Amino acid sequence: MSLSDIYEQLGCIVLAAGRGGEAVSHLQRSLIMRRQLHNQQGEASSLRHLAIAYLTLGHLGVAFRDEWQSLLIYQRLGVLSRQRMVNMLRELLTWAVGRRQWRK
């Protein structure tokens, strides 16, 4: 596990605890490291989690920008299947509207 992975996991943990601002800080560190390492799949993952963190803080524009960037990276890498895209958007909507189950 790399340091960027640790920052991303820490960001996810504090995000789940309702500390969005702190999550953004950790996730941004993860994103910066992954960009420096040219780790595109890791970059997309950090962007996805940043989108959720920004969403919880009410920054909708930034959230959807980061989510869109992550989708573009996954598509460029050839790992964006229809199901993965649906799952990503469902996760974002769940955080946007509240944590509830969405029909598959």
- In DSSP notation, 78-98 reads T---HHHHHHHHHHHHHHHH-
Give the residue carrying structure tokens 């919880």.
56
pTM of the model: 0.85
How far is residue 97's CA from residue 89's CA, in Å, rounded to a whole number?
A: 12
- The vertex-13 CA angle with 92 and 4, nearest 5°, equals 90
Please give the domain boundaries of the chain with CATH numbers for all domains. 3-97 (1.25.40.10)
pLDDT at 84: 84
pLDDT at 101: 46
CB atoms within 10 A of CB 19: 16
Q: Give me the helix-helix angle, 40-56 and 20-36, nearest 10°.
A: 160
Q: What are 44-102's pLDDT values in tens digits?
A: 999 999 999 999 898 988 998 999 999 999 999 999 888 888 888 888 777 777 654 44
